[in-house]
Amino acid sequence: MTGLRLLLRKEIREQARTMRLLAVVAVFAFLGLLSPVFARYVREIVEAVGGGQFGGLIPEPTAGDAVAQFTKNIGQFGVLIAILVAMGSVAAEKERGTAAFLLSKPIGRGAFVTAKIVAIGTLLAAALGMGGVLCWIYTTILFEPLPALGFAGAVALMWLSLAAFAAVTFLASVVTRSALAAGGIGFGVFVATGILSALPTIGPFMPTSLWGAADAMALGGVPDGLAGPVLASLALILAALGLAWWSFRRQEL
């Protein structure tokens, strides 16, 4: 693809220059650090605030609570960050006219879209990786060591769920000319997915099902029915990115 390497360097430099890279990594690192700490001390905090009235109501925390807190935070705040990162990736450039300027040079539209996709995926992977490392370290310190390979697999499942929502938002950023509209569509899909996940027929295939599987894998277990949500999420990502590429090639900038 013509200009892919040049555009990818541009995306990475822009992430660093606008502090987006630092901000996203910092948020995920905070979530990874906070989750085991909160799980470990929430019982003492509640009992202290309640003056001992709630003693015994909250069970003794375990490493599983730390993992569950981390996946819960990623499933809420992490998804919102993925939507924020993807929503202006193309729409903002079309609004400013920089997309038309770049494509007036010997740069292909496929390279333009691919560079955006790779940059978003890499940013989310780096940030989630940092958060996962901190969560694993502090869970080991405060509770017990978790299987490193299992926890790495859990982080990969979390990244796949974030990538699914980012891909849908990226598609919306391509087909609209407003970053706010793209973000609204991404958030709407997030809410709809949460509702659909409660349905017994299609719920197990939603990206949100990957969070429960990540909990089990992080603790060394082998989640049942993992292929369904993994394949469904991959299909959703490929379909969304394929439609984005197809749509962008036919747009008048």
Provide the H-helix boundaries in 91-178: 91-96, 98-103, 109-142, 148-175
Distances (CA, A) of 16 to 11, 20, 75, 170: 9, 6, 25, 20
CB 207 within 8 A of CB 181: no
Mean of the pLDDT values across residues 50-64? 72
Least confident among 3-7, 49-53, 102-106, 135-139: 49-53
pLDDT-above-70 percentage for the chain: 91
Q: In this structure, what token pair is assigned to residue 52?
A: 């001992």
Both tokens of residue 239? 């379909």
Q: Residue 48: how many CA atoms within 13 Å on its side-chain side?
A: 5
Task: Return d(Cα 231, Cα 145) in angstroms, integer.
Answer: 30
- Please state the pTM of the whole predicted model: 0.91
- Give the integer Cα–Cα distance in Å for 151 and 133: 9
Task: Give the whole-angstrom CA distance, residue 83 versus residue 207.
Answer: 14
Going by pLDDT thresholds of 50, 70 and 90, the confidence category of residue 104 is low
d(CA 130, CA 38): 18
